[in-house]
Structure 1
Amino acid sequence: MQIDPRGPRFAAALTTLVLIAVLLTGSGLLLALQAVVFALGTIGGLRRSPYGWVYRTLVRPRLAPPTTTEDERPPRFAQGVGLAFAAIGTLGFLTGVAWLGLLTAGFALAAAFLNAVFGYCLGCEMYLVVRRAQGRLDPTP
């Protein structure tokens, strides 16, 4: 499935704001809600993500059509990576290991910020590395 590449960048901007709030407040609940957003994007696809819905409904109609599209799989994989960090961080907050929650939220924030501001998706790059490694390990195309 092809997507408008501006959608994931918009979602990354919202994620950046949420994760800044997590770091400022130390809120495990807020990080858990962000984990749910990541889970919906990972399992249901970017169009089922709440941020995807906001982009598609409120932002996209006000923009010119995209000049290019991109494969949904790398950003969807990136949502899964974000989910892993947010889930570990939420577990840290819930078990009283606040430093773990803050550390993982900080890593997720760095990745979201890079995507939102510079269009560089760390999770997407990880997807490509994994796919290349699979290609070397699996002789069938």
Structure 2
Amino acid sequence: MKVDPRGQRFAAVLTSIVLLAVLLTGNWVLLAAQAVVFAIGVFFGLRHHPYGLVFANLVRPRLGPPGELEDEAPPRFAQGVGLVFALVGVAGYSLGATWLGITATAFALGAAFLNAAFSFCLGCEMFLIIKRVTPKKKISEEVP
């Protein structure tokens, strides 16, 4: 499936705002809500992602058509990376290891901000590197 990259950048802006609010307030419930947003993107796809729905219904109709579409797999993987950091952050905050919550949230914010400000998706780049270095399975000509 192909997605509008502008929607990914829009989602990164909203994610950055939420994660910054978490860092400023220490509110792990807000971070848990962001984790749910990440999980929806991972498990149900970007077309069902809450921020993607806002983009599709309120922002995209006001823009022209995208210059290009991109494969959904890399940004969906990036949502998974965000989910892991958000879950670690929730665990840190809720279990009293505030340093862990702050660190995990800051890493997630850094990645989201890179996408929001510079259109550089760190998780997408990780996906492409992993795909490049993962050996392809070869189908043997002979069947035992």
Question: Normalising by structure 2, what TM-score?
Answer: 0.94
| Residue-by-residue CA offset, 1:89-120 (whole Å, 9 max, x unaligned) | 00111111111011000000000000001000
| Residue-by-residue CA offset, 1:10-31 (whole Å, 9 max, x unaligned) | 0000000000000000010010
Secondary structure, in 3 states, of the residue corresponding to 2:47? Answer: helix
Equivalent residue, structure 2, for 1:139: 138
1:1-141 alignment runs, 5 A limit: 1-134=1-134, 136=135, 138-139=137-138
Equivalent residue, structure 1, for 2:142: none
RMSD over aligned CA atoms reads 0.9
Stretches of structure 1 lacking an aligned partner (at least 5 in a row) = none
d(CA) in 2 for partners of 1:110, 1:138: 35
d(CA) in 2 for partners of 1:138, 1:32: 37
Q: Highest Rg: 1 or 2? A: 2
Tell me which amino acid in the other structure corresponds to 1:138.
K
- Percent identical among aligned pairs is 60
Offset of residue 137 of structure 1: 5.3
Tell me which amino acid in the other structure corresponds to 2:3.
I
d(CA) in 1 for partners of 2:131, 2:81: 15
Question: Normalising by structure 1, what TM-score?
Answer: 0.96
d(CA) in 2 for partners of 1:95, 1:79: 24
Stretches of structure 2 lacking an aligned partner (at least 5 in a row) = 140-144
Q: How many residues align?
A: 139
d(CA) in 2 for partners of 1:78, 1:139: 28
Offset of residue 129 of structure 1: 1.1
| Residue-by-residue CA offset, 1:113-139 (whole Å, 9 max, x unaligned) | 0000100000000101111122x3533
Tell me which amino acid in the other structure corresponds to 2:49.
S
| Residue-by-residue CA offset, 1:48-68 (whole Å, 9 max, x unaligned) | 110010000100000000011
d(CA) in 1 for partners of 2:52, 2:125: 21
